[in-house]
């Protein structure tokens, strides 16, 4: 077996040498070099000392030229081998499956993905960017129905909203503090309820088909995207994000999204146009929401203490253009 391997290696070596020699450029160069060497040998035995010197110099130059061409050929073979290996690796492993997004480019990547998406899904906290940007952007399309799925923390769970508010307060940036945006349990609940109402309004005023599920816990990760790509971010705007564009990781994220989805909320009808942007419309909607979702363990008395100013805040949040 060893003998066969050696013969194989020897044969392949001669084969490579023959391939190199028969290459048109190498063949011409080799003929010229052999002719020069023969001429040099002839001059050494028949010429004067001066002729011997130039003949010897020609021989040295010929040897150096052969060495250079041999080196260049070896480099070309090495480069070709590396390129072939790179192509094989690229076929086996797609390096663009998951990539890191610098903090300064996250907003740009989200906007780019949103501009071409035929569907959208979101999993996260207060859903502020969803109601201020995603829903209006998707609503501008009129050529097809747009599936939209969202998983948000349960706004009817006061303790959960308090825990999330505490977490977000620890993640507050100097910019958010300077803008006077304090994260409280009441604000978290108002933002979440405003998102639910906005989704219901767009359902009746656009081609968006919203599905909203409530989470019984919160996660530091926020997940935005479509079936073609998903972007994961955290509350700290100074941290990088991750984008999964294809492959098993994106498939796993989409599968996990579906697995963790609870029974979606039944969304009552909302008045069309500006008639749906009133305090009365908002309070009526949530009263009907509680009645339509009695099997969803929603507390029936959750809105007993709400006044017009509370509904007004929800309405303002639902259609505001406030940035994250």
The pLDDT assigned to 260 comes to 74
Average pLDDT over residues 103-111: 95
Do 196 and 71 belong to one domain?
A: no
Do 194 and 261 belong to one domain?
A: yes
- If one compares 60 and 104, the residue with the highest pLDDT of the two is 104
Do 7 and 72 belong to one domain?
A: yes
Do 206 and 300 belong to one domain?
A: yes
Q: Kindly state the percentage of the chain with pLDDT values over 90.
A: 49
β-strand partners of 100: 242
Domain boundary among 92, 110, 136: 92
Do 50 and 193 belong to one domain?
A: no
Domain boundary among 57, 72, 92: 92
In angstroms, the Cα distances linking 66 to 18, 19, 23, 26, 140 are 15, 16, 15, 10, 70
The pLDDT assigned to 309 comes to 95
The pLDDT assigned to 52 comes to 59
Q: What is the CATH number of the domain that holds 283?
A: 3.30.870.10
- If one compares 200 and 74, the residue with the highest pLDDT of the two is 200
- If one compares 173 and 221, the residue with the highest pLDDT of the two is 221
Residue 155 located in a structural domain: yes
pLDDT tops 80 at residue 231: yes
Do 290 and 175 belong to one domain?
A: yes
Residue 114 located in a structural domain: yes
Do 61 and 106 belong to one domain?
A: no
What domain range is 83 assigned to?
A: 2-92
Do 6 and 120 belong to one domain?
A: no
Residue 246 located in a structural domain: yes
Do 82 and 181 belong to one domain?
A: no
DSSP H helices in 261-323: 279-292, 308-318
pLDDT tens digits along 19-38: 555 555 555 556 666 666 66
Residue 324 located in a structural domain: no
Domain boundary among 92, 123, 149: 92
Do 83 and 102 belong to one domain?
A: no
- How many domains are contained in the chain? 2
Residue 323 located in a structural domain: no
In angstroms, the Cα distances linking 225 to 7, 118, 171, 175, 189 are 58, 10, 23, 26, 24
Do 155 and 286 belong to one domain?
A: yes
pLDDT tens digits along 237-248: 889 999 998 888
Residue 73 located in a structural domain: yes
pLDDT classification of 214: cutoffs 50, 70, 90 = very high
Pick from 54, 24, 21: which is nearest to 39 by CA? 54
| Tokens encoding 290 | 């509680």
Residue 136 located in a structural domain: yes
Do 125 and 42 belong to one domain?
A: no
Residue 106 located in a structural domain: yes
In Å, the largest CA–CA distance within the chain is: 119
Nearest-angstrom CA–CA distance, 252 and 9: 46
pLDDT tens digits along 120-135: 999 998 899 999 999 9
């Amino acid at each position: 077996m060893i003998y066969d391997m050696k013969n194989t290696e020897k044969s392949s070596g001669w084969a490579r040498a023959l391939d190199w020699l028969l290459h048109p450029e190498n063949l011409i160069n080799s003929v010229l070099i052999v002719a020069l060497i023969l001429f040099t040998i002839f001059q050494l035995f028949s010429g004067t000392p001066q002729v011997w010197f130039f003949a010897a110099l020609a021989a040295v130059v010929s040897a150096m030229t052969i060495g250079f061409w041999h080196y260049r050929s070896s480099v070309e073979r090495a480069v070709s081998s590396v390129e072939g290996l790179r192509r094989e690796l690229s076929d086996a492993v797609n390096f663009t499956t998951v990539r890191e997004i610098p903090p300064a480019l996250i907003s740009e990547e989200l906007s780019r993905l949103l501009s071409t998406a035929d569907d959208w899904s979101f999993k996260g906290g207060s859903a502020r960017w969803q109601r201020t940007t995603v829903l209006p952007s998707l609503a501008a399309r009129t050529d097809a129905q747009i599936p939209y799925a969202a998983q948000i923390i349960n706004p009817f769970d006061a303790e959960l909203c308090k825990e999330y508010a505490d977490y977000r307060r620890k993640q507050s940036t100097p910019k958010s503090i300077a803008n006077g945006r304090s994260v409280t349990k009441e604000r978290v609940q108002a933002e979440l309820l405003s998102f639910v109402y906005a989704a219901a309004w767009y359902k009746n005023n656009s081609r968006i088909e919203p599905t909203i599920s409530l989470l019984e816990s919160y996660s530091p990760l926020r997940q935005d995207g479509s079936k073609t790509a998903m972007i994961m971010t955290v509350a700290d705007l100074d941290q990088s994000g991750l984008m999964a564009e294809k492959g098993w990781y994106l498939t796993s994220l989409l599968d996990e999204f579906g697995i963790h989805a609870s029974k979606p909320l039944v969304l009552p009808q909302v008045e069309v146009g500006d008639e749906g942007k009133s305090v009365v419309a908002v309070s009526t909607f949530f009263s009907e929401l509680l009645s339509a979702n009695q099997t969803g363990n929603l507390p029936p008395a959750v809105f007993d203490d709400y006044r017009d100013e509370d509904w007004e805040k929800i309405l303002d949040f639902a259609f505001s253009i406030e940035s994250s």
